[in-house]
Amino acid sequence: MAVDVVREGSTAVVTLSGETSRNSFDSSSIALIASILYGLMDDPEVRSIVLTGSGRVFCAGADIDSFQQAIEDDSISELVMELTGILHPLLVRMRGDSTVIVAAINGAAAGGGLGLALACDTRIASTEARLASAFFRLGLSPDGGTTWLLPRLVGIQRARSFLFNDETWDASTALEVGAVDEVVESEQLLPRAIRVAIEWGKWANHSKKSTKQLLDSQSSTFFETQLEFERMLITQSSMTPEFVEGVQAFQEKRTPDFSTFVEEE
Q: Where are the domains of the chain?
A: 2-201, 205-251
**pLDDT tens-place string over residues 137-158:** 999 999 999 999 999 999 999 9
Note the helical H segments in the chain.
27-42, 64-72, 76-96, 112-118, 146-154, 156-164, 171-177, 189-201, 205-217, 223-238, 241-251
Mean pLDDT, residues 235-240? 95
**Distance, CA of 55 to CA of 28 (rounded, Å):** 21
Is residue 260 predicted with pLDDT exceeding 90? no
Is residue 52 predicted with pLDDT exceeding 80? yes
Is residue 212 predicted with pLDDT exceeding 70? yes
**Distance, CA of 249 to CA of 131 (rounded, Å):** 42
**Distance, CA of 49 to CA of 173 (rounded, Å):** 25
Cα distances (Å, whole numbers) of residue 102 to 167, 193, 231: 24, 7, 28
The CATH classification number of 2-201 equals 3.90.226.10
What pLDDT band is residue 20 in, cutting at 50, 70 and 90? low
Long-range contacts, 170-179 (Cβ 8 Å, 24+): 170/129, 170/130, 171/105, 171/125, 171/126, 171/127, 171/128, 171/129, 171/130, 174/125, 174/129, 174/131, 175/125, 177/153, 178/153, 178/154, 179/118, 179/123, 179/131, 179/150, 179/153, 179/154
What pLDDT band is residue 19 in, cutting at 50, 70 and 90? low
